[in-house]
Amino acid sequence: MKVIVNGRFLWQRATGVQNYANGILKSLIKSGAVIEVVMPPFKDNRWEFSVKPIGYSNGFIWEQFFLPMYIRKQTDALLLNLCNTAPLALKAKAVTIHDLAFEQELGNWFNKRFKQWYRFMIPRVCSSSKVIFTVSAFSKKELIKHYNIPAEKIVVAPPGLPDMTFDSSSLPKCDYVVVTGANNPRKNASWVINNIDVLEKKGLTLVLVGNNAKAFNNLSFAGNKNIIYLENVPSPSYFSLIKNAKALICPSVYEGFGIPILESLCLGTPVVASNIPVFKETFGDLPLYFDLNDLTTYRKAVEGIAEKKVTTADIEMLKSKYNYEKSTQLILETIEKLAKL
């Protein structure tokens, strides 16, 4: 079975979903698997691997019309979609669903149009796919609960660590903690901001890392000398920022995995995280947990930062458990089984 990768994500702004797709794609190429990467037409080839431009237009029109037209012309081909979306009318496909945040009623996380489209598309994409990959056992349970998908149709292929390079030239000159995804309401950065006094009493500055994603409500906050906002941070600066932080704080209301937690722990940086099921399932007792939006347990967790150590054994365990090579092998084995059916 010929594996064709939907490369629409290569031109998208890199968030956790696109970073996962890049990690899997690089590992697929490294494994020597025979794949073809297709994407909307482009003017310049900025990638270090072979990509094939097909069709016309880009975005929704390209994915829903020109991409399936191309796949149907191939002999015994399967389209591998790594970023939630996929052609609705194509059956020869596998899709990766990262989480079902758009199905939650916990907050105004998405604009109305985005939510309506995903609530229409995702269940239909899942129903018409030959197999569904997802990033955690928690997300698998969510897919089963919301869409009544048979468990055997869902395969958990978690993310791993990206290649890390470092640039320490612009680090804050103070003791600081980091909150990522500051513009995303479900990351709950506003709650940490509203309780900045907890960090101030410990002599800690809050560094917010975010972007201006249009799908989410923008986060606004009053100027404060103990809050630094960094926008669209390049990867080398980001990894140096995490590595030199006193802690990562992850107060999320809902997640499918928690890649920043994995990155932070593997860089030896302690993590303070909301006590939500996916974090407990994925990282066990390695983070310092607090009950969601509970000030008492949050203070206790922050107070524990100074004494919290991430050991070499902890790091090696995480790297062994969560890596793109292992997940890629699982994806390839699953596709091979499909080819034999």
Give the pLDDT confidence of 63-80 residue by residue, as tens digits. 999 999 999 999 899 999
Q: Residue 13 — very low, low, confident or very high, per pLDDT cuts 50/70/90?
A: confident
Taking a C-beta distance cutoff of 8 angstroms, is the pair 235, 259 a contact?
no
In whole angstroms, how large is the CA radius of gyration of the chain? 20
pLDDT number for residue 197: 95
What is residue 149's DSSP assignment? -
* d(C-alpha 25, C-alpha 27), whole Å: 5
Residue 122, exposed/middle/buried by CB under 10 A (0-12, 13-18, 19+)? Answer: buried
Extents of the domains making up the chain = 2-159+323-340, 176-321
For the chain, how many residues are written? 341
CATH superfamily, domain 2-159+323-340, is Glycogen Phosphorylase B; (3.40.50.2000)
Region 297-322: mean pLDDT is: 97
**SS3 helix, strand, coil % of the chain, rounded to 5?**
45, 15, 40
Question: Is residue 182 classed as helix, strand or coil in its secondary structure?
Answer: coil
pLDDT number for residue 110: 84
**Torsion of Cα atoms, 188 then 190 then 192 then 198, to 10°:** -160
CATH code of domain 176-321 = 3.40.50.2000
What is the residue-averaged pLDDT of the chain?
A: 92
In the predicted model, is pLDDT for residue 220 greater than 90?
no
* 2-159+323-340 against 176-321: fold identical: yes
Q: Residue 106 — very low, low, confident or very high, per pLDDT cuts 50/70/90?
A: confident
Write out the two tokens for 50: 């072979």
Beta-carbon neighbour count of residue 329 at 10 Å? 16
Q: Residue 182 — very low, low, confident or very high, per pLDDT cuts 50/70/90?
A: confident
> Mind listing the pLDDT tens digit for each residue in 190-218?
899 999 999 999 999 999 998 864 433 44
